[in-house]
Amino acid sequence: MRRTARIKDHAREKRLYTDRAFITAISVGIMLLGIVLRLFWLEGVRHSYYTELSQGNRVRLEALNPDRGLIYDRSGTVIAENTPAYQLELTPEQVPNVPDTLNRLAALGLIEVDQVPALRRLIRAGRKFEAIPLRLSLSDIDIAKFAARQHDFPGVALQTRLARWYPFGNVGAHMLGYVAAISEEDLSHISTDEYAGSSVIGKTGLENTYEQQLHGTTGFQQILVNAQGRHVDRLGGTTIKLSTKQPSAGSDLFLGLDMRIQQIAEEALAGHRGALIALDPMTGDVIALASVPSFDPNKFTRGISTHEYAQLRDDPNRPLFNRALRGTYPPGSTVKPLMALAGLEYGAIEPNTTRLCRGYYTLPGSSHEYHDWKKDGHGSVDMRRAIATSCDVYFYGLAETLGIDRMHDAMVNLGFGKLTGIDVTGERAGLMPSAEWKRQTYKQNWFPGETVIVGIGQGYLLATPLQLAHATAILAARGKNFRPRLVTAIRDATTREIKKLPPIEDPAVSIKDPGNWEVIVEGMEMATEAGGTAAAGLGRGTAYRIAAKTGTAQVFSLGQNEKYNANDVDEKLRDHALFVAFAPAEAPKIVVAILVENGGHGGTVAAPIARRIFDAYLLGEYGQPSTKARK
């Protein structure tokens, strides 16, 4: 076979080389241009942006916690403040064995044993170089205990922080509330930026309701860190300007509360379960709000132990329960003046109309006897005398004439069955029944026998002590309706300017004849005189006139022929004692509503407490409040 020879084409190869070189040069040129343009973009146009990012890699923001606002009573006495406290903190990278360290701290009693697993999870989730708080506030004994063994706990230290402190201890605890560690539930409704650096938040009472004002604004400071994120003083020879924004302290609250009266109220109720509300009827200011037994909020501030909380939670006397706002009770005879007012307004009865009380009442066509508290009856009584002697038979008949729906409308108009709107969390609305309410709730009709029972403050009717005080304040103010409130002024932490909050006046309770107010007040004044149900309890010789109404509310129902004897029933089944009053009767300055659970007769148990409050407030007796802090 003959082979053909290929002749090399030099011209073609040269053209191919030239084309490839040109394409390569163009590509290299484009890439170089891209690099130049990118450098110009980074170093010129975006220089400040990337400088800020670079700064962010070596500068970290550290939150600065604001001081919490203070709370004062009406005289300027501090009732919630901040004091230095030692906090126990652990830095993981400095601790050789974290589980062993936590167990040994628990053995010393510095932390709770059942808190160890949660603390271990918290430490694992955090950075190894950041301190983790183990306990918010240590007692002097715990500080000494740790100081003596500190050398055995490398990486664990005491740090000074500001902690909430209530100098009056358990006095006013339900009203003030308390602060405690921020929980997982709290994190679901607060801004993490606003609470960066904060370890506590208001949980109940004013501390919770006014959390936004009391908390303040978180500040920050820039700190220099290395590549591992650890705090350093400088990086190489470079000096970096670090900035700081100081936190703004929370606003201070000023209350209408008189801590002197508050102390007297709680001392007078000591040994009982009950509540006391004192209001200024012309402003709605809360002068005292007591619920006993109470608790020490400082335990929650320092970090209450599981054992301590279990004792409070399981105590049968329920010290954590705010009876003043959340306790609902049959108001008993304290509502009789209000029922009498409803009777006058609806024209169901005249003030001077008399009715004969034989000691029992029967509905038309029924043989069932509704007994009066006085077995032999009160004889012939008019409205004023019926209020003064608390004649059940008179109000049985009035209730039958009015009917449940008119009673419902009149009582709702005076604040029953709805919230008063007081500026603190946790209030309950109570219950003012009606025929429609029973149909919707029980799918049953309303019966006449239920009407007469509601007429003397029993049956389905339930009210809180605050509602009784509010309704009595409306009566005392002759229809003016001021919403109960605790906070009367707020002071800005930066400007120190005090902003006074005007009283909130809700629509007045208007009546057809203003003289009807005086009829009711006269009957309540007669209750404090000889023959009246409040006379013995209030005592003699007051320098002012008092209008009052006693009340006794049954805890359980008696049969037709059964007789009640307090000595024969369990203490928790005895009648509640209630009392409402205001003074001076002609120009009221203070209204008081008192409840003593299972206390018996209101005139015997609750009235003397009211007398102490009136004397202290109107006459300035019993001195000044003690500010001695609890240890």
Measure the CA–CA gap between 493 and 66, rounded to whole angstroms. Answer: 11
- 171 close to 263: Cβ distance less than 8 angstroms: yes
Q: Which residues are catalytic?
A: 333
Q: Which two tokens stand for residue 599?
A: 């206390």
Is pLDDT of 442 > 80?
A: yes
In the chain, what are the domains? 324-478+514-619 (3.40.710.10)
Measure the CA–CA gap between 392 and 114, rounded to whole angstroms. Answer: 57
The mean predicted confidence, pLDDT, of the chain is 87
Where does 298-391 have alpha helices with state H? 298-302, 306-314, 323-326, 336-345, 383-389
Q: What is the pLDDT of residues 364-417, one digit of tens each?
A: 989 899 999 999 999 999 999 999 999 999 999 999 999 999 999 999 999 999
Buried b (16+ CB within 10 A) or exposed e, 168-182: bbbbbbbbbbbbbbb
Residue 247 confidence (pLDDT): 85
Identify the sign of the CA torsion 401, 404, 409, 413: positive
Give the Cβ contact number of residue 76 at 10 Å.
Answer: 7
DSSP 567: G
Q: Which two tokens stand for residue 36?
A: 């130049």
What's this model's pTM, rounded to 2 decimal places? 0.83
- As a 3-state breakdown, the chain gives helix, strand, coil percent values, each rounded to 5, of 40, 20, 40
Percent above pLDDT 90 for the chain:
56
Is 426 exposed, middle or buried, given 0-12, 13-18 or 19+ CB atoms closer than 10 A? Answer: middle
Is pLDDT of 277 > 80?
A: yes
Is pLDDT of 294 > 60?
A: yes
- 219 close to 435: Cβ distance less than 8 angstroms: no
- β-strand partners of 593: 277, 580
Q: What is the pLDDT of residues 215-259, one digit of tens each?
A: 988 888 777 766 555 666 665 555 667 778 888 899 999 999 999
DSSP 84-149: EEEEEEE-GGG-S-HHHHHHHHHHTTSS-GGGHHHHHHHHHHS-TTS-EEEES---HHHHHHHHHH
Place of tokens 């002697």: 389
Residue 600 confidence (pLDDT): 75
Task: Collect all residues with Cβ–Cβ distance below 8 Å to 145 and sequence separation of at least 6.
Answer: 108, 109, 110
Q: What is the pLDDT of residues 463-482, one digit of tens each?
A: 999 999 999 999 999 999 99
Q: What is the pLDDT of residues 173-231, one digit of tens each?
A: 999 999 987 776 777 788 877 887 677 889 999 999 999 999 988 888 777 766 555 66
